[in-house]
């Protein structure tokens, strides 16, 4: 959302897509989620490349008078394969509930889109020792009535809201970068919950880390057992910062497989 002009979004997307031509993406998927005004243009620019497209949000109705929302069919028409749902900003700034996010997850799956379900606790919730409680509740309610087979098309992204440098998310709270140990603790808890709920399929669900992953810390984070990728923010806005993270993911994936 820091990129306002469509031509700038298209340029960056083209640069990333062209760079991916020289990288073997075995067991690694890469998607970008531009703003809605650039979604179709970016989709056309990267069509046929290894770079995939995602929406930043989606409403759970096919059509109707829902001013300001975007439908799943509109995302698909733009070329989207993924859609980000329950992002920390949607939850914490716009007040989206787990029940609403659950409806979106169900609709995305119905339409053939792959939901990237975001969960995570705020600074105050972490201070209060509610990391597990908050994430368990978000998982349980956002994934209500989702069958194990459907989980194969879902990605979970853990966002430690307390580590994200956004004053609208963390007013009057000191921002502290999450340590690998803190990230691993949360991801291990999420993995355990998924396995207890969905059995062996729970081990196959990709878990992304969304706490300011960047070239300087991606190797350490992606090397952790239950971190399978990143939901990248600012570092995705330039080829110079995004490609090292992709290359790190590819390298670690080759070692693991």
DSSP of 177-233, one letter per residue? PPPHHHHHHHHHHHHHHHHHHHGGGGGTS-EEE-S---TTTHHHHHTSTT--EE--S
Please give the domain boundaries of the chain with CATH numbers for all domains: 6-256 (3.20.20.70)
Residues linked to residue 210 through DSSP beta bridges, in sequence order:
none
Q: What is the mean pLDDT of the chain?
A: 93
Q: With 80 as the cut, is the pLDDT of residue 170 above it?
A: no
Give the SS3 label for residue 149: helix
pLDDT > 90 fraction of the chain, expressed in percent and rounded? 81
Say which of 15, 87, 121, 141 is annotated catalytic.
87
DSSP H helices in the chain: 6-20, 36-45, 72-78, 88-92, 98-111, 123-127, 131-142, 180-198, 218-222, 239-256
Report d(CA 72, CA 104) in Å as an integer.
9
> Is residue 102 classed as helix, strand or coil in its secondary structure?
helix
| Residue 1: per-residue pLDDT | 46
Q: How far apart are CA 44 and CA 65, in angstroms?
A: 27
In whole angstroms, what is the distance from residue 244 CA to residue 131 CA?
A: 30
Catalytic residue among 147, 159, 240, 254: 159
Is the pLDDT reported for residue 43 higher than 80? yes
Active site residue 87: yes
* pLDDT tens-digit readout, 94-141: 999 999 999 999 999 999 999 999 999 988 888 899 999 999 999 999
**CA 167 centroid distance within chain:** 20
Give pLDDT, residue 178: 85
4 pLDDT exceeds 80?
Answer: no
At 257 the pLDDT is 60
* 159 is known as an active-site residue: yes
Among 17-21, 121-125, 176-180, 189-193, name the one with the lowest average pLDDT: 176-180
| pLDDT value for 204 | 96
The b-or-e profile of 52-72 (16+ CB within 10 A means b, else e) is: bbbbbbbbbeeeeeeeeebbb
Band (pLDDT 50/70/90 cuts) for residue 175 is confident
Reported as a single tens digit per residue, the pLDDT across 75-98 is 999 999 999 999 999 999 999 999
pLDDT at position 212 is: 83
Mean pLDDT throughout 49-54? 97
Cβ–Cβ under 8 Å, residues 120 and 163:
no
Of 69, 43, 46, whose CA–CA distance to 58 is shortest? 69
């Amino acid at each position: 959302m820091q990129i306002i002009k469509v031509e700038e979004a298209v340029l960056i997307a083209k640069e990333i897509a062209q760079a991916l031509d020289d990288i073997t993406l075995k067991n690694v998927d890469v998607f970008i989620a531009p703003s809605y005004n650039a979604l179709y243009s970016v989709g056309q620019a990267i069509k046929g490349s290894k770079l995939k497209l995602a929406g930043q949000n989606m409403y759970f109705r096919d059509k109707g008078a829902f001013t300001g929302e975007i439908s799943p069919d509109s995302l698909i028409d733009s070329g989207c394969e993924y859609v980000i749902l329950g992002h920390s900003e949607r939850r914490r700034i716009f007040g989206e509930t787990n029940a609403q996010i659950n409806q979106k997850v169900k609709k995305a799956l119905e339409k053939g889109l792959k939901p990237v379900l975001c969960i995570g606790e705020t600074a105050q919730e972490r201070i209060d020792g509610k990391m597990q409680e908050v994430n368990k509740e978000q998982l349980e309610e956002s994934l209500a009535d989702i069958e194990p087979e459907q989980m194969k098309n879902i990605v979970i992204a853990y966002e430690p809201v307390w580590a994200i440098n956004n004053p609208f998310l963390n007013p009057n709270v000191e921002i502290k970068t999450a340590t690998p140990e803190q990230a691993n603790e949360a991801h291990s808890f999420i993995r355990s919950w998924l396995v207890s709920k969905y059995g062996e399929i729970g081990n196959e669900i990709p878990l992304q880390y969304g706490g300011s992953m960047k070239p300087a810390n991606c190797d350490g984070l992606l090397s952790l057992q239950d971190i399978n990728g990143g939901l990248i923010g600012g570092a995705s806005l330039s080829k110079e910062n995004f490609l090292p993270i992709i290359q790190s993911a590819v390298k670690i994936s080759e070692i693991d497989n």
